[in-house]
Amino acid sequence: MQKPLILVANDDSIAAKGIRILAEVMSEIGEVVVIAPDTHQSGMGHAITLDRPLRVNKVKNYLPNVEAYKCSGTPADCVKFGKHFLLKGRKIDLVVSGVNHGSNSSISILYSGTMSAAIEAAIEGIPAIGFSLSDFSTDADFSHTKEYIKKIVLKALEKGLPKGVALNVNFPKISEEPIKGIKICRQTDAVFRESFEERKDPYGRPYYWMDGFLQNEDSGGGTDEDALKENYISIVPAKFDLTDYQSVETLKSWSF
C-alpha cells in the first residue's frame, strides 16, 4: 500500500516543540510535508491574509524524511498554500495541526489558529485533526501524547472521517496519574471572562492589556472540559456549519 500523504501545520510557528513532535510521529505513518507560520500566530482564529502577498521558504534539515516550509501567513493560509500550490494536483490524505502549546477545548476552538488549520482542511474536503496539550509552556512535556496521536491518526485513516468534520483532540497536561483513555465529547458551553488593565507608556499615553479566564458553567455533562478534568483525552468532532437550525424555525415565525 502507498504511504498516505500528510500535511502538518500549527499556529505556534515552525520553531515550536509541539509541531516537531507531531511531524516525527507522522513520519512513522506517511509521507510528511510541514508548512507552518514563521512567527507565533496564537489567537489568530480563522484569519486569512488578503492585503499582502505571502512569503514561503523551505526549511533545510528540519527532520529526516520530512519536507518543511515556513510561511509568512496565518495557519489557514498555510493549509491553503499547501493544498493549492505546494501539493497542487496531489491527493492529501490527512491534515494534522499542532500539537498546540495550550488547550483548545471549549470555546477556545473559535480563537485557535491550530483548529482553524484543521477546519480549513475539512472545508476543502480533507480529513483533518487538530491536537492540543493543556500546557502553555514552550518546553511542555509531550511524551504521553505520542502513542495516542499515532492511535487516533491510524484510526482516522482506517475509518475515514465524516465529510467536513475536523477532530479537536485535547490532551491533559502530563501528571503522575496515567491517561484514563479517550472520550468523544461535545464542545463545552463556557465563556472567557476578560478584563483589561490600563497602563501608561513612557510618554504618558494609555495602553491596555487583555487578560481572561475560562468560566465554565456548563453542567450538562459529556463536554471536553469534563473529560480533561478526569484525565481523559477529549475528542470533539467539529464542523464549520454555524447555522443554528433550531433558531431557523423560531425566526421563521417572526413576521417581518
State which of positions 218-237 bind a copy of itself (CB under 8 A). 235-237
1 versus 50: smaller Cβ distance to a copy of itself: 50
C-alpha cell at 138: 514552550
65 versus 247: smaller Cβ distance to a copy of itself: 247
Q: Contacting a copy of itself (CB under 8 A), which of 3, 28, 110, 141? A: 110
Choose the binding region for a copy of itself from 26-34, 60-68, 172-180, 242-250 (rule: CB under 8 A). 242-250
Assess whether the previous peptide bond of 99 is cis (omega < 30° from 0).
yes
Q: At 233, give phi and psi (nearest 5°).
A: -85, 130
Least separation in angstroms between CB 158 and a copy of itself? 9
Handedness of CA 45, 48, 51, 55 (dihedral sign): positive
Is residue 203 at the binding interface for a copy of itself, with CB under 8 A as the rule?
no
Q: Which of residues 22-81 bind a copy of itself (CB under 8 A)?
A: 40, 42-51, 53-56, 76-77, 80-81
Q: Which residues partner with 33 through β-bridges?
A: 7, 67
Task: Give the separation between CA 35 and CA 49, rounded to whole angstroms.
Answer: 16
Is residue 240 at the binding interface for a copy of itself, with CB under 8 A as the rule?
yes
**24: helix, coil or strand?**
helix
